[in-house]
Amino acid sequence: MELKINIEKLGNATGKKVAIIGGGPAGLSAAKELIQLGYEVHVYEKMYEPGGLLIFGIPSYRINKEKVRENIKKLMNAGVIFYTNTDVGKDICLSEIIKKYDAVLIATGAWISKKMNVAGENLSGIYYALDYIIKYNLSKLGYLSEGLPKLSGKVAVIGGGLTAVDACHIALQNNVEKVYLIYRRGRWQAPAGKKIIENLETSGVHVMEFTQPIEFIGENGAVKAIRAVKTVLEKSNGAPELKIVPESQHIIPIDNVLIAVGLLPSIPNDDGKINIIVKEGPRTNIEKVFIAGDATLGPSYIGFAIQSGIKASKEIHTYLTHKEVELKIDKKSAPLRD
């Protein structure tokens, strides 16, 4: 899986400026197209370096981070300007950016972890898996001064997606006593896929299917156990429904929890003063503001992010010139999640 950026001929300067908020695969692929079309392109990125989840989310055994950096370098050499450590909505207002540029592309991904909304979720020793994974990558890349909170004893990862799978791998690397993957449905329904869940089992993860946590139990403010119930898929008239098995409550002793039950788009909103709504395709409710990648509909895949960045740049070009442009989507450079 790679993000391949090959800058072809740069077009004549249009004299127009486009701001891209977020330097993940969606923002980067849009930056490539827009600079080639002759726009001045500025990328605002809240992290220490661009790359998004390619750098700070996906583990290095699945993606070559140096190759990602080489591709970003090509964009810099072509004239794309990156403002790193700039959190739009905090360090600079989104409204200010909208005023300054001819068009704005929101490509801020989906970094907000869904809460489980069960008692005890705030106990210490419980982390949202994506936050933990980002910290883990920050620490591996030498950006984290305060050190990574250590996982120990029995670790429960809750969820069935790739974030949960990567969290299990991190827990295994910590040489903890036991890693449980707790998922409320069956493995064949897991978004990560049955095969990947089975590979986890081979690596030593204890997979608990049809198990749903209903409370985190603490001792002196730290998590000590999970109260869970068993679930079952029951056929009623329509599609099978997930039901709680009566009298199935049980306690799972635990020392750390990583919650990975879903991610939501993280769209800047200037402290609630701006409300970006996705309209048709990459268009939003706000004139000259476009959207691409995971920020559009929530978590997806690198391939989707790249393709949607390309589509958004095409739409931006049409908006700014009233002319259509044919942009190639190289499917090979945009493979889907394996």
Ligand X SMILES: Cc1cc2nc3c(=O)[nH]c(=O)nc-3n(C[C@H](O)[C@H](O)[C@H](O)COP(=O)(O)OP(=O)(O)OC[C@H]3O[C@@H](n4cnc5c(N)ncnc54)[C@H](O)[C@@H]3O)c2cc1C
Is the Cβ of residue 211 or residue 307 nearer to ligand X in the bound state? Answer: 307
- What is the Cα gyration radius of the chain? 22
Q: Following DSSP, what letter does each residue of 47-112 receive, concatenated?
A: SSSS-THHHHTS-TTTS-HHHHHHHHHHHHHTT-EEE-S--BTTTB-HHHHHHHSSEEEE-----E
Among 71, 108, 137, 313, binds ligand X (CB under 6 A): 108
If you search the block for the tokens 């329904």, which residue do you land on? 189
* Dist. CA 75–CA 68, nearest whole Å: 11
Among 120, 160, 193, 268, binds ligand X (CB under 6 A): 268
Among 3, 5, 22, 180, binds ligand X (CB under 6 A): 22
Among 179, 258, 305, 312, binds ligand X (CB under 6 A): 305
Residue 162 C-beta: closest distance to ligand X, Å: 4
Which region among 65-73, 103-111, 231-239, 277-285 touches ligand X (by CB under 6 A)? 103-111
* Dist. CA 147–CA 139, nearest whole Å: 7
Among 3, 20, 23, 158, binds ligand X (CB under 6 A): 23
Is the Cβ of residue 108 or residue 211 nearer to ligand X in the bound state? Answer: 108
Contact yes or no for 161/185 (Cβ under 8 A) = no
Q: Is 244 exposed, middle or buried (0-12, 13-18, 19+ CB in 10 A)?
A: middle
- The answer to the question of residue 5 lying near ligand X (CB under 6 A) is no
Among 71, 89, 192, 317, binds ligand X (CB under 6 A): 89
Please name which of 31, 36, 34, 38 lies closest in space to residue 52, comparing C-alpha atoms: 31
- The answer to the question of residue 159 lying near ligand X (CB under 6 A) is no
Site for ligand X in 194-253 (CB under 6 A): none
Among 60, 62, 122, 206, binds ligand X (CB under 6 A): 62
Element (H, E) at 11: none
Is the Cβ of residue 26 or residue 254 nearer to ligand X in the bound state? Answer: 26
Among 163, 212, 307, 333, binds ligand X (CB under 6 A): 163
Q: Following DSSP, what letter does each residue of 172-239 receive, concatenated?
A: HHTT-SEEEEE-SS-GGG-TT-HHHHHHHHHTT-EEE-SEEEEEEEEETTEEEEEEEEEEEEE--SSS
Total residues at the site for ligand X (CB under 6 A)?
A: 41
- The answer to the question of residue 46 lying near ligand X (CB under 6 A) is yes
Which region among 3-11, 192-200, 294-302, 318-326 touches ligand X (by CB under 6 A)? 294-302
Q: Is 146 exposed, middle or buried (0-12, 13-18, 19+ CB in 10 A)?
A: exposed
Which region among 83-91, 136-144, 145-153, 219-227 touches ligand X (by CB under 6 A)? 83-91
- The answer to the question of residue 300 lying near ligand X (CB under 6 A) is yes
* Dist. CA 213–CA 231, nearest whole Å: 10
Binding interface with ligand X (CB under 6 A): 1, 21-27, 44-47, 52-53, 57-58, 62, 87-89, 107-109, 130, 133, 162-163, 166, 266, 268, 293-295, 299-303, 305, 336-337
